[in-house]
Chain A
Amino acid sequence: MSIEAAVLTGEPETVGAGRARKRSAGSDVPYRILIGAFAALIGAVLVLYFYSIIDQSIPGWQVAGWHFFYGTNWNFFNRQYGALPLIFGTLITTTLALVLAVPVSIGAAMAIVFLIPRRARLAVSSIVELLAFVPSVIFGVWGYLTIQPWLDRTVQPWLVKVFHHNWPFNTNGSGFGLMLGSMVLAVMIIPTITAITRDVLIAVPAELIEGGLSLGATRGQVLRRIALPTSRTGIIGAITLGAARALGETIALFLLLGALDPNHPFPRGLNSGLATLSTEIVANFGQLSGTKPLGVICCLSLVLMVIVGLTNLAARLVVRRSLQRLQP
């Protein structure tokens, strides 16, 4: 019965945009200059950053060329720079992690807000928040020491048997690989997505929930048809943050993904090893001297940046699309 109690106490979203504007229209000049200066500083750092990374990647593009984007032969030490398997690795690990993490996170957030008794809610929320702060290397070590042996000895042999060596469990792996990496990645981003989704759900105005209930809706209907749709912008934001963390995740995946098989640069199944843009950056950084190898590393960085940027853009488009559906 107490489920919506917290929601009821949640402040309605009365974002006084008009009031804020009026206030700053009071022409507080020094204040404005200060804000402008900070904005300019952030802009300058960004421009400088992009300039230097693009500048340093030029020798890399010169040796790798367009091959970088479609070539599948990645071997940094043999100066083979077909980075498509790495781009694929980054995208597939993140996608699988999201597939695992998003339903779990949204379910957990809904449970925290609408199901768990009020007293337990704080405890559960705190644990989730704490988990969101755990450094990724700890997740990596945990996956390495705990999950990998379990996958290797129990889960994967069983799956291979059940699937009769068919896709996606065609190879007897080592425990390391796509499955382990995605699973641990999912565990890493679940707390982030859960915590933000919870905050967004708590902010759903009580008036809307009561409005729904007063029309004879069940609690489930209120959740699905009112609370979730009202929160969708925030939930998409939560997922985007999770995706950004997953796309850039380096050290945990470096420990967990196993090795890229040069004969099969794209993983043949969930048990196969692979590499991502970020794991290759950390694996090879500073290994070979010279502007050209360093340039290639910068190419990897640049592509990773672009992928993260595009993800962000895509999320914004999804949000705008979902808001636009209703505008006149």
Chain B
Amino acid sequence: MESTTENSTMENSPRQSAATVGIDPSIVSMVDAIPSNAPVVPVMRLKDVAVSFNGKVAVRDVTFDVGKNRVTSMIGPSGSGKTTLLRALNRLHDLTKSAVVTGSITLDDVDIYKGGIPTTLLRTRVGMVFQRPNPFPTMSIYDNVASGLRFNGIKKKAFLDDAIEHSLRAAALWDSVESRLKVAAATLSGGEQQRLCIARALAVEPEILLMDEPTSSLDPVSTQHIEDLLTSLKEIVTIVIVTHNMQQAARVSDDCAFLLMGEDRAGELIEFATTEKIFTNPTDKRTLDYIQGRFG
């Protein structure tokens, strides 16, 4: 097939171009260099997005498209506004009175801030996995995964049973919890808890899954598990992932957004491109500096 030939040529080219620009080849070798041949279909589009708190800009000038069934990573130094931007995508800033989101964010061409879609519905379509696993402590494993469906009024046991098995399988957790679904979620290990949270988010069948440093509180083995998971999840859900770990961004993502603080300490989007391009041949000097570890 065509993709195999594409593959082999692409496998080498990043390293070569990396050598020319002086990027650590160990990172480059991790780039998942399989550009999908299918055209990229934007599912969420950000245009001139900015978020400010109490009038102080935290992140601005963000314009890019999130491609359907792709993994989009956001990288950048601490304070560059990655979390702030991610939380704007499912309106979590609504809770913070001082937060103002400007610009436009559209989901299937509907502006999510212009009342075109109820916030609760938006959040079932755009789910979130947090930095620290946050299973609901008073609920069992089963109830945790069922919670999103129940919030949305689904009560039928057969349906829930099905959805829960399906979600837990998708999160690669089913085999280890099948026999103890009624046990408190808190009894799971940290990595298992994070996979539970992924299953919980998947259960409502979101179109987009936002993940804020989902592996930063986990050990290397659990991290590996979740990274493996992301690649398979791509089939069913579009993923936007914030990560501090450049190797991780290189390994798991198809597209990459690089954010950096400007002179006035407000974060801004410096470059958005395919992960391959960002890690092998970035357009902006600052991206290159960051990739090469000159700051952050």
Contact = CB atoms under 8 A, between A and B. Distances in A.
Contact of B120 (A210, A211, A216, A328): A216
B228 to A, nearest CB: 23
B66 to A, nearest CB: 17
Interface residues of A, number: 29
Nearest to A326: B184
Contact of A328 (B92, B127, B187): B187
Contact of A214 (B96, B127, B186, B187): B127
B234 interface: no
A155 interface: no
B138 interface: yes
Interface in A311-326: 326
A56 B165 CA distance: 66
A136 B104 CA distance: 58
A212 B90 CA distance: 13
Nearest to A209: B95
Contacts of A213: 92, 95, 123
B226 interface: no
Contact of A216 (B134, B186, B187, B204): B204
B200 A215 contact: yes
Interface string A204-224: 010111111111111001000
Contacts of A166: none
A328 B183 CA distance: 5
Contact of A208 (B121, B136, B148): B136
A207 B123 CA distance: 15
B138 A1 contact: no
Given A208-B134, A212-B147, A216-B124, 19 more contacts: A5-B96, A5-B97, A207-B130, A210-B95, A210-B130, A211-B128, A215-B147, A215-B148, A215-B151, A216-B152, A230-B137, A232-B138, A326-B139, A326-B140, A326-B184, A327-B183, A327-B187, A328-B183, A328-B184
- List of 8 A-B pairs having minimum Cβ-Cβ separation, nearest first: A215-B148, A216-B124, A326-B184, A214-B128, A207-B134, A229-B138, A217-B151, A2-B97
Interface of B: 90, 92, 94-97, 120-121, 123-124, 127-128, 130, 132, 134, 136-140, 147-148, 150-152, 180, 183-184, 186-187, 197, 200-201, 204
